[in-house]
Chain A
């Protein structure tokens, strides 16, 4: 559905001629995708907000999670939705290890060092995946949610997208509440606002950094398992979504979780509506155009301070 002009999709043949119904359909699809983009973006914005580091390997974390879901499915017949906690925990651990093994050593280095380190990690993971699992596209065809649809009036939506969107909303809200309400969450906020003063409060900021990287990984790990139910899985499958996540994070305001949520929604909608009105080959052009306009008008993003 995503790769064709919307009106060519078999889902819509019965709707032909009912333009406004199609628009409603497109908007529904856009919003559903938007929530998933939001979850990916929340992970990315967390690391920026707390550590001022852009994690270029974010998309590769997503890819590893999708492969994890794939292998759980093909080797153990485990449904991606059941494998979701495994993917989440695995990428949490990978996030923590990335901090301990790489980021911790470069975080105080000048300028671009940390950025280049995550870029290098991204290249490494992409090529490692290609080496281990070939560049072939893989699909999880018969998960418990794939191929099923829900009809709401004349809008038809895929169950896998609905499940992914609902789970993304729940997880995004859970991350927000964690940051906002818990003792560790408040320590994360304090560290983000002023690292040295956080140290003076007795907060182990290195531990907070590790937790932040893990939490970011958990977000993208969960998103990967959800997306594996309806997107192809291949070594570069994370790259596109990490670019989209960069856009939504920049659009929402770097480091702002609420901003990432709205940024994700805007991208989901822009992609769906733009793809429908101008043709799918231009859908990302629309996304980036909106991004360019937003950062011209509000350079710090919609919610930036």
Chain B
């Protein structure tokens, strides 16, 4: 469903992603792992249109999307949960979720989407009138994911799900991914290699803006390059 071909991205004159190709198949959980500064977040920002590539192309559902503005990419069915959660702290949880559904015109559909995410994350319904900044880190991550689901995406991209979360919370949030994967294809970008490769159907390892190795989650966990560089084995 998502095809990235020979992508090149940079900030000013500094190239970050050199020549990266990968794809995401419908229904899969795909993980892109790599160390800090490997260009993972840059990659997601480019797919969601916040950054423009300097070369290569991005196709989604057979359509080129690297030339259209960021706000229109949401309508195409891609939702990006940004690094560090970036919830609207001064606004209520419900308002955050409704902003996630900004591109949805029908009120009925909005209500239904809200009901659906409240089912997955009951804590958010309990606290819907509270300001988002009052939530704990794990709850904010859940809110960010829920907000991402509110645009009814075909592809949900999550950047650094584990950032700043205690290990047991990471597991908890990962468990919710197993629930939502029935509805939506998931692209994860992570530094916590072990956890995401365990749930991923397919994974890519990025090093210095280039693809190092790809394979199923299990294959990657067994590979020397992952063992040495990320798992310290």
Do B98 and A200 touch across chains, with their CB atoms under 8 A apart? no
Interface residue tally for chain B (C-beta within 8 Å): 26
Across the interface, B48 reaches (CB within 8 A) one of A193, A194, A200, A305, namely: A200
Q: How far is the CA of A196 from the CA of B50 in the complex (A)?
A: 7
Q: How far is the CA of A251 from the CA of B48 in the complex (A)?
A: 39
Q: How far is the CA of A197 from the CA of B75 in the complex (A)?
A: 15
Contacts of B49 in A (CB 8 A): 199
Interface string of A180-214 (1 = CB under 8 A from B): 00010011011001101111111111000000000
Do A186 and B82 touch across chains, with their CB atoms under 8 A apart? no
Interface string of B61-74 (1 = CB under 8 A from A): 00000000111111
- Is B89 in contact with chain A by the CB < 8 A criterion? yes
Do A189 and B91 touch across chains, with their CB atoms under 8 A apart? yes
Do B86 and A197 touch across chains, with their CB atoms under 8 A apart? yes
Interface residue tally for chain A (C-beta within 8 Å): 18
Q: How far is the CA of A81 from the CA of B80 in the complex (A)?
A: 49
Contacts of B71 in A (CB 8 A): 199, 202-205
Interface residues of A in 140-198 (CB under 8 A from B): 183, 186-187, 189-190, 193-194, 196-198
Of B26-34, B99-107, B180-188, the one touching chain A: B99-107
Nearest B residue to A204, CB-CB: B71
Q: How far is the CA of A194 from the CA of B83 in the complex (A)?
A: 13
Q: How far is the CA of A199 from the CA of B75 in the complex (A)?
A: 12
Dominant SS among interface residues on chain A: helix
Q: How far is the CA of A200 from the CA of B99 in the complex (A)?
A: 10
- Is B198 in contact with chain A by the CB < 8 A criterion? no
Contacts of A198 in B (CB 8 A): 99
Interface string of B89-130 (1 = CB under 8 A from A): 111000100111011000000000000000000000000000
- Is B162 in contact with chain A by the CB < 8 A criterion? no
- Is B46 in contact with chain A by the CB < 8 A criterion? no
Do A186 and B99 touch across chains, with their CB atoms under 8 A apart? yes
Do B82 and A200 touch across chains, with their CB atoms under 8 A apart? yes
Do B88 and A189 touch across chains, with their CB atoms under 8 A apart? yes
| Chain B residues in the interface with A (C-beta under 8 A) | 48-50, 69-75, 79-80, 82, 86, 88-91, 95, 98-100, 102-103, 147, 151
CB-defined A-B contacts under 8 Å, sample of 23: A186-B98, A186-B99, A187-B102, A189-B88, A189-B91, A190-B88, A193-B89, A194-B88, A196-B82, A198-B99, A199-B71, A200-B48, A200-B74, A201-B74, A201-B99, A201-B100, A201-B103, A201-B151, A202-B71, A202-B72, A202-B74, A203-B71, A205-B71
